[in-house]
Amino acid sequence: MFICLTFELLPHTGFAAAMFLFSSRVPASLKMSGSTMLNLSLLTSDMWPVLIRIFAYHEKVYFVAFVAVDIRLVAYSGFDKENHADGATDLSRYLDEEAAVLS
């Protein structure tokens, strides 16, 4: 009886732990990189099932969509955010968000 309950609760406990870690990490990720980088990173989470499908099940996979997402992620993260095309300056490096004052 105890073993049966343990195996029934294990997936729920793992899901709760994963959701706690995800919810704890999102604010830090948003502060460091912004919402676009977070969304692009979430798109790359589909690579784990692809790797499992390749190595565990030995199935053929088409990588066109995954390569496109990875290219966008690398292109966005490598983009220099301080040199905008319209010449606008980035005030975030001068603004202290906690104190809400310009330094």
pLDDT at residue 102 above 60? no
User: What pLDDT, on a 0 to 100 scale, did the predictor assign at position 19?
Assistant: 94
Summarised one tens digit per residue, pLDDT across range 40-98 is: 788 777 778 888 888 999 888 777 877 887 788 788 777 755 554 444 455 555 555 55
User: What pLDDT, on a 0 to 100 scale, did the predictor assign at position 50?
Assistant: 82
Q: What is the mean pLDDT of residues 8-17?
A: 90
Query: 0.85 exceeded by the pTM?
Result: no
Enumerate the domain spans of the chain: 1-30, 34-81
Could you please report the per-residue DSSP string of the chain? -HHHHHHHHHHHHHHHHHHHHHHHHHHHHHHHH-HHHHHHHHHGGGHHHHHHHHHTT------HHHHHHHHHHHHHHHS-TTS-TT----GGGTEETTTTEE-
User: What pLDDT, on a 0 to 100 scale, did the predictor assign at position 6?
Assistant: 73
